[in-house]
Amino acid sequence: MTDARPMGFDTLAIHAGAKPDPATGARQVPIYQTTAYVFRDADHAAALFNLQEVGYIYSRLTNPTVSALAERVAALEGGVGAVCCSSGHAAQIMALFPLMQPGCNVVASTRLYGGTIQQFSNTIRKFGWSAKFVDFDDLKALKAAVDENTRAIFCETIANPGGYITDLDAVSAVAKDVGLPLIVDNTTATPYLCKPIEHGATLVVHSATKYLTGNGTVTGGVVVDSGTFDWSASGKFPSLAAPEPAYHGLNFHAALGGMAFTFHSIAVGLRDLGMTMNPQGAHYTLMGIETLGLRMQRHVENAKVVAEWLEADPRVDFVTWPGLASSPYHDRVARIVPRGAGALFTFGVKGGYEACVRLVDSLTLFSHVANLGDTRSLIIHPASTTHRQLDEAAQIRAGAAPNVVRLSIGIEDVADIIADLDQALARATA
């Protein structure tokens, strides 16, 4: 394998980050279930702690199984480095951590995973950070929301609860214009459908819990760095481009260039916040990613068949899959997610709240769970679960009105998925 010819997505998904194990020749990435690593001698230990030499010290910082996963996801996203975390929510904090100081804010899209809205609205305030939520289709409002204390712009590629695609090209142009990093949560698209770095993203975050692992076995997260942002240009990012007191005054940008974010995230972020991925979880995610391309292909194929079938059904009010010609975001599909518009969308059931609850209870193949991106088809009724704390007006604004259910279409035989929806819709609307 040489640098001369770039390898394709499916090849990288299997091989990136995974050389035969140097100790045993093991072909699959071993689970290095160890906390610590023996130093060759005192000089070696000192060099590792000084970041003069890259190596393993303690598994809160780095672990060979977890590093293999970081390298693989970085390769798939087209980044220079990545850091794996204990969950997708941990990855979001890890992405913001080197960028923010107390009093700083992030400008975020209104169309986000519900848990992210919660994390950004309330919990980050305890760090002295805040978020401003804006409709990212209104680029003027997005630009106007940026103030002198803004340190990042945050959005999702295909946004929850589904059916919306962010115009990453337009949003990254605004970010560039105001000199701020753009962080894109690419969980629901995966790098198979979209590589946000190619659309101008600075950092990409993932919940590895979803499609990357793909089978509902792991909780994990990843932050990928494009390596392209000049952290020194504005004076706004002292953790990365001024002497960092949390790491004996090291200037990460001056010392490490494009790897500043990744090294800071390990040397300070994981060291002090400790939101580390475990090697067992990393191993499951590595195995999941080997088939990411094949799975995503089937996920989007099935989603198309199901969305078109639902749209033609008189028991259904509307379907939000962006690949449908009726979607207001249909034009963005070819540009942002050319291989398919994802497998996560909502639809409206005639008969409202009661019919939705009956539908969910009547399905037998679909699982009623608060998850997405599984090989299994999943359903949730947001108004009675994830969005039940919101009043009806807020539910409607969030795309989670009482008559809306969300599907995460799996990779089963599509005829079986449709048969299950058909019988459950019959019971729900009888």
Binding site for ligand PLP (CB under 6 A): 87-89, 113, 115-116, 156, 160, 185, 187-188, 207, 209-210, 219, 221, 372
Given a contact cutoff of 8 angstroms between Cβ atoms, the answer to whether 381 and 365 are in contact is no
Nearer to ligand PLP by Cβ, of 63 and 207: the residue is 207
What is the β-pairing status of strands 105-109 and 150-156?
A: parallel
- H helices present in 326-387, as ranges: 330-336, 352-362
Distances in whole angstroms, Cα of residue 244 to Cα of each of 126, 179, 237: 22, 22, 10
Paired tokens of 178: 């105001």
Q: What share of the chain is helix, strand, coil (3-state, %, to 5)?
A: 40, 15, 45
Nearer to ligand PLP by Cβ, of 203 and 357: the residue is 203
Given a contact cutoff of 8 angstroms between Cβ atoms, the answer to whether 335 and 189 are in contact is no
Nearer to ligand PLP by Cβ, of 351 and 382: the residue is 382
Nearer to ligand PLP by Cβ, of 85 and 356: the residue is 85
For 239-248, the CB contacts below 8 A with 24+ separation are 239/97, 239/98, 239/99, 239/101, 239/264, 239/268, 240/98, 240/99, 240/264, 244/268, 246/272
Least distance from C-beta 208 to ligand PLP, angstroms? 7
Nearer to ligand PLP by Cβ, of 372 and 424: the residue is 372
Nearer to ligand PLP by Cβ, of 68 and 218: the residue is 218
**Amino acid occupying residue 310:** L
Contacts of 174 (CB under 8 A, 6+ apart): 139, 142, 143, 153
